[in-house]
Amino acid sequence: MFFAMPQPESYLSDANDELMRCYRVVRDDPEALIDDLGNHVYSRAHYNDVRALDPVRLTDIERASRLVFLNRTCFNGLWRVNRRGQFNTPMGRYTNPTLVPAAEIRAASRALQDCHLATADFQSAVADCQSEDLVYFDPPYVPAGGYADFDRYHAECFSLSDHERLATVAASLAERGCHVLLSNSDTPLVRRLYAGWHITPIAMPRSINCLGSRRGSVAELLISSVTPADE
Ligand SMILES: C[S@@+](CC[C@H](N)C(=O)[O-])C[C@H]1O[C@@H](n2cnc3c(N)ncnc32)[C@H](O)[C@@H]1O
């Protein structure tokens, strides 16, 4: 959402420190990142070596480069970690993946120039929001049913109680006069948590699914504290 309509002086945060560190390198040192990405090759041996690296022992540039490389070559771009926080998604099958997306990195860097970037839990991230601020939450989705395990982006899961806490935080922001937008799966739980909000069902293309048959479009909800313009 941010990169589709960048706003100066935005505040972007995520609990995934690896992701936020990468954003910082993209913002502050895009050319060094582009240079380092040139060291990667698309092969199983290299993928396994890079995946096994301990990010804490790398420089910020190498760490960001590792994340971009893994994101572009892993199975369906899925960021998944084990209980010890180690990235464990297998390699994906691609034909000539672009390992050095230089134009995208430079464009993202320009968009991020004035932005504040933080590794934070969503609740502390919005603690200082003021009336009229626009707050967009893009949380790990409530599984639409069956086997779905997309909430392990970092070592701790985003549990049912996190979804309830998010709904409480979102409601208190709306009461404070903030404009709040969220997206989530079209599930009974989400409809219950945001009963009384403006809810717009949308069909989203999705490629992240372990079962090819379940890729395609999935039902999502765009949830808003204010009346959408076309309502
Ligand atoms: C659907 S993804 C959104 C990714 C992000 N919008 C992006 O495109 O870079 C959900 C994100 O929620 C983050 N997350 C999980 N638990 C969180 C928490 N308690 N506070 C803040 N972010 C959290 C995950 O790390 C993951 O990046």
Q: What φ, ψ does residue 17 adopt, rounded to 5°?
A: -65, -35
pLDDT at 206: 67
Q: Using 50, 70 and 90 to split pLDDT, how confident is the model at 14?
A: very high
List alpha helices for 156-225, DSSP H: 160-175, 188-193
Comparing 80 with 74, which gets the higher pLDDT?
74
Q: Using 50, 70 and 90 to split pLDDT, how confident is the model at 230?
A: low
pLDDT at 146: 32
Pocket test for ligand 1, best of 10, 13, 14, 168 (most atoms within 8 A of CB): 14
Return mean pLDDT, the chain: 90
User: What is the distance between the alpha carbons of residues 91 and 45, in angstroms, rounded to a whole number?
Assistant: 10
Task: Output the residue whose Cα is nearest ligand 1's atom 23.
Answer: 15
pLDDT at 102: 98
Instruction: Using the mean position of ligand 1's atoms as its centre, give its distance from the Cα of residue 138 in Å.
Output: 6
Q: Using 50, 70 and 90 to split pLDDT, how confident is the model at 8?
A: confident
Domain 121-224 architecture: 3-Layer(aba) Sandwich (3.40)
Residues having CB closer than 6 A to ligand 1 are 14-16, 19, 121-122, 138-140, 153-154, 158, 162
Pocket test for ligand 1, best of 1, 137, 153, 204 (most atoms within 8 A of CB): 153
Task: From 57, 60, 47, select the one nearest 87 (Cα to Cα).
Answer: 47
User: What is the distance between the alpha carbons of residues 126 and 168, in angstroms, rounded to a whole number?
Assistant: 12
Comparing 213 with 100, which gets the higher pLDDT?
100
pLDDT at 205: 76
Six-digit token pair at 224?
Answer: 């808003």
* pLDDT digits 0-9 by tens, 124-173: 999 999 999 999 999 988 887 633 444 444 445 788 889 999 999 999 99
Which percentage of the chain shows pLDDT scores above 70? Answer: 89
Can you name the CATH fold of 15-115? Adenine-specific Methyltransferase; domain 2 (1.10.1020)
pLDDT at 48: 97
Ligand 1 atom closest to the CA of 150, numbered from 1: 1
Task: Output the residue whose Cα is nearest ligand 1's atom 17.
Answer: 15
Comparing 180 with 231, which gets the higher pLDDT?
180
Ligand 1 atom closest to the CA of 123, numbered from 1: 20
Query: Where do the domains of the chain lie?
Result: 15-115, 121-224
Task: Output the residue whose Cα is nearest ligand 1's atom 5.
Answer: 138
229 to each of 147, 224, 226, how far by Cα in Å?
A: 36, 11, 9
User: What is the distance between the alpha carbons of residues 141 and 211, in angstroms, rounded to a whole number?
Assistant: 17
Instruction: Using the mean position of ligand 1's atoms as its centre, give its distance from the Cα of residue 211 in Å.
Output: 22
pLDDT at 218: 77
